[in-house]
Structure 1
Amino acid sequence: MADPQIPRGETRLPIYPEPPAPAEFGIDLRLGWNRGDAAIAADVKAFWEQFNFLPRGVDPDHRVKEVVLAGYAGNRLVAVSTAAIEQVGFLRCKMAVYRCAIAPDFRGQMMSMLVTAHSLKALEAWSRAHPDEGVMGMLAVLENETYKKKTHPHRAPETKLSLVAFNPQGQKIVVAWFDHARV
């Protein structure tokens, strides 16, 4: 893997308005959103199984249809992002509800922020091209224990993600509104 620009343990990555190129982090991001790519689907399902990433009861054949990006280091899948289009009651609009999984040996290198930034761009471009879908932004629940600390800003200036609520488990719910969003 190439040495990333951001040192291990660094908490800031300037991703907005333009995220760094994935190659700077030694990965290739492949678009899976609405593509039905059988090779990506097979790799993603094997990745989820290898690391036991899917919660009990989640159908991998259904979830794999939600793949936004697949991140490869050479031929090895090391990152996957997914999104489900859902009506979000408290925001009164449809959002792309986002998830990201990173291989354990690629964590701590800002990989999730990189994949998230590029996923946001891909989802926003899709939303702009499909206005009839009415998707206004991307929502994520920050499940990583790191984000439970109160040391993270409510809106990091280098991203579009803003804190909007907490779920019953105390996890932060963040939203990035698409530039064309109207609510």
Structure 2
Amino acid sequence: MAFAESLADFYAKGGRIEDWWLIAHPASLPPGRGRYFRVAARHSGGDRGMPNDIRYVAAWRRNDPAIERDAIALWTEMKVLPPNIRAEERAKELVAVAYDGDRLIAVTTAQIHLHAPVRQRFAFMRLLVRPEAEKSGLAVPLTVACREELREWSLANPHEQVAGYAAVITAAGYGAKPVLNAGLTLVGYTPDGHQIRTYWWDHFKIPV
């Protein structure tokens, strides 16, 4: 399988996102800091409505002014940030983003918090997708991009003691599977009823 095979074509063959993106072999991902997660050179569209030219870009703690500027513009346009959150501060939490051509269409951010039930620190991610791209099928590959970017950082910074990544699912009608396609497993609920999901790094060891 070519690394740049179209996701739409691969889905049509019954393939899995994990196999397509070669996540089982992270060394096969393009090397270098600030790299593109170029998981598909071109999407053919099909019934999944994939964008024509999508690229996934690593952003975690890279302080890339262009990506941060695009993300701030997206948040401002969609009016999604709470009034007590400064866009410039949230931009420092970017992990991986998706572009359709030169247009930013989705972002992930993360904050590291202690997950008290297991007494370990997790990188809690957020995902935002433009409304017109919500049915494009990019949420899973972007979530996996976020996961792998955080995993790589965790491996390089063991002193941070981050056990994995996590998410609170707030989207209505989402989360029917105990384990989602990106590996997030249901572990509980927030007081207001939202699902809490976690994914443990293979390299993390719990102090015993």
Instruction: Report the TM range for the smaller structure's normalisation.
Output: 0.7 to 0.9
Deviation for aligned residue 1:17: 5.8
- Max radius of gyration: which structure? 2
TM-score (normalised: structure 1): 0.86
Residue pair 1:13, 1:110 contacting (<8 A) in 2 also: no
Alpha-carbon deviations, 1:50-97, whole Å to 9, x = none? 111212311211111000012111111001000111122122111101
**Number of aligned positions between the proteins:** 175
2:154 alignment partner, SS class = helix
Q: Distance in 1 between matches of 2:183 and 2:19?
A: 9
- Out of 172, 175, 186, which is 1:145 matched to? 172
Highest RCO, 1 vs 2 (Cα 8 Å, sep ≥ 6): 1
Unmatched 5+ stretches in structure 1 = 7-11
Give, in whole Å, the separation in 1 of the partners of 2:190 and 2:17.
26
After TM superposition, the structure 1 = structure 2 runs for residues 109-148 of structure 1, keeping only pairs within 5 Å, are 109-147=136-174
SS in 2 for 1:79: strand
Give the whole-Å Cα distance in 2 for the aligned partners of 1:63 and 1:153: 30
Q: Give the aligned partner of residue 9 of structure 1.
A: none
Identical aligned residues as a percent: 30
* CA distance 1:159–1:45, change in 2 (3 Å): closer
Alignment of 1:24-103 (within 5 A): 24-25=42-43, 26-103=53-130
Is the aligned partner of 1:15 residue 2:38? no
Aligned equivalent of 1:172: 195
Deviations 1:19-45 (A, max 9, x none): 372445431111111111111111100
SS of residue paired to 2:141: helix
Q: Match for 1:154 among 149, 162, 178? A: 178
| CA drift at 1:4 | 5.4
User: Which structure 2 residue ranges, 5 or more long, are not aligned?
Assistant: 1-5, 23-38, 44-52
